[in-house]
Amino acid sequence: MTVSHAAGSWFRRFSTGTEDGMTLLCFPHAGGAASTYFPMSKLLAPRIGVYAVQYPGRQDRRSEPPLDELTQLADRITEALTELAPDRPLALFGHSMGALLAYEVARRLETTERLRPIRLFVSGRRAPGHAATRPDLHDQDDATILAELRRLSGTDEAVLADDDWSGCCCRPCAATTRPSSATWGPDPGKAYCPARYRCSRGPRTPM
């Protein structure tokens, strides 16, 4: 897969893979960034080329305003994907908010001939149509956001305990939860590519 200049702001490549392999495009969780998937890319088979989406407002795109609507984000990512050379089969993986986003992008790509995904992998998110049980963060105060970040255990406590650093991360983190928490609702359409999911809460987890 070759990244063009225009599409390059959206995707980060961590491994190239082999000519007879496949491309895996990863979608970070809300508040996450493309670099989340760098360690995972080193654990996969060498034949897999690993790319990750870099959302506006995160890391080297932090000067760009985050997008408020998940469907708009999916549209922009799909548009950027069409600028890539589809030289190998494409699979999508998303975690948490990234699972919803990967699902929406998969639905859009299924209308194309060149980029129709062969697999959709998801984790850490209820199926479309099942309401989220956690409170929205995008309109909460910093104390509530910090409490939720501590509960999720994905941010170093030294960062959360530092007033300067936590002040820098709270608002961007909350802003990037808005697409999934406040503006997305399930559409009656479906994604028809084969899907794989990881269930970690037992047989009663909604699918």
Q: Where residue 102 sits, what CATH number does that domain have?
A: 3.40.50.1820
Confidence tier at 164 by pLDDT (50, 70, 90): confident
Percent of the chain with pLDDT over 90: 32
Residue 20 covered by a domain: yes
pLDDT in tens, 170-181: 656 655 555 555
C-alpha to C-alpha distance for 94 and 103, rounded to whole angstroms:
8
Q: In terms of Cα–Cα distance, which of 200, 73, 178 is closest to 126?
A: 200
The total number of structural domains that make up the chain: 1
Torsion of CA 159, 174, 98, 55, to 10 degrees: -80
Residue 169 covered by a domain: no
State the average pLDDT over residues 195-201: 52
3-class secondary structure, 95: strand
Residue range of the domain that includes 20: 7-133+184-198
Q: How far apart are the first and last CA of the chain?
A: 32
State the average pLDDT over residues 126-150: 68
Tell me the β-bridge partners of 150.
none
- Interhelix angle 163-181/70-81, rounded to 10 degrees, is 90
3-class secondary structure, 77: helix
pLDDT at residue 136 in the model: 61
pLDDT in tens, 92-135: 999 988 998 999 999 999 888 778 899 999 988 777 766 555 55
Residue 141 covered by a domain: no
| Residue whose token pair is 């992008």 | 105
Residue 73 covered by a domain: yes
Residue 143 covered by a domain: no
Find how far residue 128's CA is from the centre of its chain: 15
3-class secondary structure, 166: helix
Residue 126 covered by a domain: yes
Residue 61 covered by a domain: yes
Residue 153 covered by a domain: no
pTM comes to 0.76
Confidence tier at 186 by pLDDT (50, 70, 90): low
Instruction: List, by residue number, the catalytic residues.
Output: 96
